[in-house]
Amino acid sequence: MKLKNYMKEGQKLPLFGIGPYLIYGIGLLTAVCIVLFVYVFKNGNMDGPWKWIFRIGGGALIVYGLFIWFVGALKSDMDESIIENKLKTDGLYAWVRNPMYSGWWFALTGISFMWHNIFMIPVFFINWGIMTIVLKNTEEKWLSDLYGEEYEVYKRRVNRFIPWKRRYL
C-alpha cells in the first residue's frame, strides 16, 4: 500500500506534525521504564488485589485511549481540516484539543499499569510533562501563529489532553 502525499499547495500545517516523534519518544521511555523496574531492578511489583486493580485499570485505559485515538485520527476528518487550513473545533475536538496524543498517552499509561509496578506511576506524570512541553513549543505555537485569536479562545475553552465537558467563556 502506497501512502498518499496529502501536502497541497497553500497547506500551512504538516499533516503529521511532531506527533510520531513525540509518541515514539514517550513510548520508548515507557518501555525502558518497564524493563528497568520490572525485569532489571525487580522492585516495586504489587501482588494480591493491587495486581488485579492495576491490570483491570490498565486494560480499561488501553481501550479508552485507543478509542479516543481512533475517533480523533480516523473519524474526525482532521486531515481535511489541515489540508484546508481550518481550525478543527467540533466533534471530539470540542472536548479535547489533542485527542490523538491523549489517546496514546492513556494507552501507554494503561500498558505501564499492566505490569502492576508502583514505580511505573511517575512515568504517567513524566509523559504528561514531556507532551505538554513539546506541544506548547511546537504545535500550539504553529496554531497560534496561523489562527491567532480564534485558536487562543479555543485553547482557553478546551483542555489539552483530558476529554472534558466544554467550558464556555
Which amino acid belongs to residue 34?
I
Task: Write down the number of H helices and E strands in the chain.
Answer: 7, 0
More confident residue, 165 or 113: 113
Domain ranges of the chain: 19-157
The residue type of 43 is N
* Spatial separation of the C-alpha atoms in residues 91 and 107, rounded to whole Å: 21
What's the pLDDT band for 52 if we cut at 50, 70, 90? Answer: very high
Residue type, 47: D
In 3D, which of 29, 26, 53, 42 has the Cα closest to residue 113?
A: 53
Q: How confident is the model at residue 5 (pLDDT cuts 50, 70, 90)?
A: very low
Q: pTM to 2 decimals?
A: 0.84
Burial 132-149 (b: 16+ CB within 10 A, else e): eebbeeebbeebeeebee
Is residue 8 very low, low, confident or very high in pLDDT (cuts 50, 70, 90)?
low
pLDDT tens digits along 72-116: 888 887 777 777 778 888 889 999 999 999 999 999 999 999 999
Find all residues with CB under 8 Å of 54, minimum gap 6, and list them. 46, 113, 114, 115, 116
